Chains A and B, each alone.
Chain A
Amino acid sequence: MKNRLRVLRAEMNWTQADLAAMVGISRQAVIAVENGKYDPALPLAFRLARAFGKNVEEVFVWEENTPQ
């Protein structure tokens, strides 16, 4: 699964720590999601999308060849 977290965060001029504090997660979690190393569960995906005022599909993009 791909995501646009880094781009959206840059547009908002937020740091990883800012986003982490807003969503209520650790900075490590933001780094892992941004780098595509960790796919968040649905509630966290919604919270991240809502932080940018967007829908989940606008932030997270499903790829057919994503490993299970």
Chain B
Amino acid sequence: MSTPYRSSNRQTQTFWAVLAIASAIDIAATWLLGRPGYPPYARMIFALLPIPANLVLLAVIVRRIRRLDEFLRHVHLEAAAIAFLLTALAVFIYADLQKANCVGPLNVGVAWLLMALFYGIGYAIAARHYR
């Protein structure tokens, strides 16, 4: 009747390995795009390079979520909702500050880091609530 709950080391290792590979490809693509001398078609390929690894990362994350028990899914849902809303709020406020000429252009990488930070905060809040 019960589905064995598994949060195996193998799954965790797979997640971190795929995350490391995807991040390395992202950084490499950004680095290549920052170098002059490549023709437009090559630059387009560099820009699209991160897609496959990131799709694999997405699949690994979805698989991990599906193997969580109902309680942990609940906690992660709250964390995701908090991260989504806080990131949206931060980006909108930054956009308004930009319009007011208080800050420079937004680096997309910073928005991603903010989302990760807010996810961590959201997870801590949700986990604490149910403790």
Contacts and interface: CB of A to CB of B under 8 A. Distances in A.
Interface of A: 20-26, 28-29, 31-33, 35, 37-38, 40-41, 44, 46-47, 50
Nearest to A50: B1
Interface of B: 1-5, 7, 68-72, 74-75, 127, 129-131
A46 B1 CA distance: 10
Q: Summarize A's interface: helix, strand, loop or mixed.
A: helix
Contacts of A37: 129-131
A68 B72 CA distance: 20
Contact of A26 (B3, B5, B129): B5
Given A24-B3, A24-B5, A47-B1, A29 B131 contact: no
Contact of A24 (B2, B72, B127): B2
A44 B131 contact: no
Contacts of A46: 1
Nearest to B74: A38
A14 B3 CA distance: 20
Contacts of B131: 31-32, 35, 37
Nearest to A32: B130
Given A32-B130, A35-B131, A37-B131, A25 B69 contact: yes
Contacts of A23: 2
Most central of B1, B69, B129 by chain A CB within 10 Å: B69
Given A35-B131, A37-B129, A37-B130, A28 B70 contact: no
B69 A32 contact: no
Nearest to B72: A26
Given A25-B70, A29-B69, A41-B70, 7 more contacts: A21-B5, A24-B5, A25-B71, A35-B131, A38-B71, A38-B74, A47-B2
